[in-house]
Amino acid sequence: MATFFGEVVSAFSRAVEEDDEEELDEDEEDSQIRRELEEKRQVHLNWNPAVCDALKTGDKLTCSHFILAVGHNASRFLSVYVLASEKWDAVGRASVWNEKNRPGSGEQSCVFYRHRDEPSVLICQLTCYVAEDQQFQWAEKVLDCLEHRELHVAVLSDSSVADYKSAEYLGGNSAPFLRSLHTTTFNGPPVCPALEQPNILTGLPAAVLNHCQVHRIPAVVYQCFTDVIGTDSVSMETYKPALVNLGPSIKLDHCPSSDALQKIVRTRDPQSNLYI
């Protein structure tokens, strides 16, 4: 702008500079919030002292079979038909924080069990929600703790029959049923039909299978499609064929007691039913 004496000076706007400073402060604040949120959403593995000592020395856990159960039916199937033998010890937990899951809130959790007589057999029951940005991280952190040389991975996963796509009509008695998808290095006997196209795996089972495919780990996912909301004993039994050929250390209790089933299977609350 020009002064009365003809001198030309640059225009100065204090408002513009203040706005720039405010935007810079907001960017720094947003970055700090983003870093804190990313740190909070990290997957944390908490092993017992013996496992921690082994991992600290750089040794990975010797594991021949890693069985992961994702969902309430899959997890409770293992509780009733496998873990009830009392030959399993809890050796660790995974802590996952996200918008749907708060560690320490109720029964939702992720627990690792190891067989007393066969320490190379590891089971994980996962009933908590793992968000999309945490799934690859979960698979990488857990599987990197295990020795890959003799490792075989089996994933049991719950799914709604409404998510199943088929050209044929599914009758009322078709569900529950089992489908599988495996890596190219898996050569086990088929215990159920393969998952037909255009169906795809999603969520943590897909992340685990993808990790195993990249690292050439024999792995298979058994997906149970059910039409029952919540825990169901019939849906749980659908997983039986998936564990029959996993070796002598995985012994199924084919006839669990009715008390064990009643403790696991929840009774529906009539008060929560809109139509009653």
pLDDT tens series, the chain, 276 aa? 555 555 555 555 555 555 555 555 567 777 887 888 888 889 999 999 989 988 888 889 999 999 999 999 999 999 988 888 778 999 999 999 888 876 555 555 899 999 988 899 999 999 999 999 999 999 999 999 999 999 999 999 999 998 999 877 676 568 899 999 999 999 988 899 999 999 999 999 999 999 999 999 999 999 999 988 778 888 898 999 988 766 666 777 666 655 555 556 554 444 444 433
221: β partners: 155, 181
| Beta-bridge partner residues of 125 | 69, 111
DSSP secondary structure letter of residue 145? T
> Which amino acid does the sequence have at 5?
F
Tokens 């139509």 appear where? 275
Please tell me the distance from the alpha carbon of residue 108 to that of residue 126, in angstroms, as a whole number: 8
Minimal CA–CA distance to 77: which of 198, 241, 202? Answer: 241
Rounded to 5 degrees, what are φ and ψ at 33? Answer: -65, -40
Q: pTM here? A: 0.81
Spatial separation of the C-alpha atoms in residues 90 and 122, rounded to whole Å = 10
Cα–Cα dist 129/21, whole Å: 40
3-class DSSP string for 76-124: HHHHHHCHHHCCEEEEEEEECCCCCCCCCCCCCCEEEEEECCCCCEEEE
Are 239 and 178 within 8 A, CB to CB?
A: yes
Which residue carries 């856990």 as its tokens? 61
| Residue entry with tokens 């089933």 | 261
- What is the structure's pLDDT at 270? 42
Query: Residue ranges of the domains in the chain?
Result: 43-272
| pLDDT given for residue 275 in this prediction | 39
Alpha-carbon torsion angle 130, 94, 139, 133, nearest 10 = 30
In angstroms, the CA 253 to CA 124 distance is: 18
Look at residue 268 in the predicted model and tell me its pLDDT: 43
Chain centre to alpha carbon of residue 173? 29
Contact 45, 141 (CB under 8 A): yes
Please give the CATH superfamily to which domain 43-272 belongs.
PAC-like subunit (3.40.50.10900)
Q: Which residue has the tokens 């149970």?
A: 224
Which 3 state secondary structure label does DSSP give 130?
coil
In the chain the first and final C-alpha atoms are separated, in Å, by: 79
DSSP state of 128: S
- 3-state SS, one letter per residue, for 5-68: CCCECCCCCHHHHHHHHHHHHHHHHHHHHHHHHHHHCCCEEEECHHHHHHHHCCCCECCCEEEE
| Nearest partner of 128 among 79, 71, 69, judged by Cα | 71
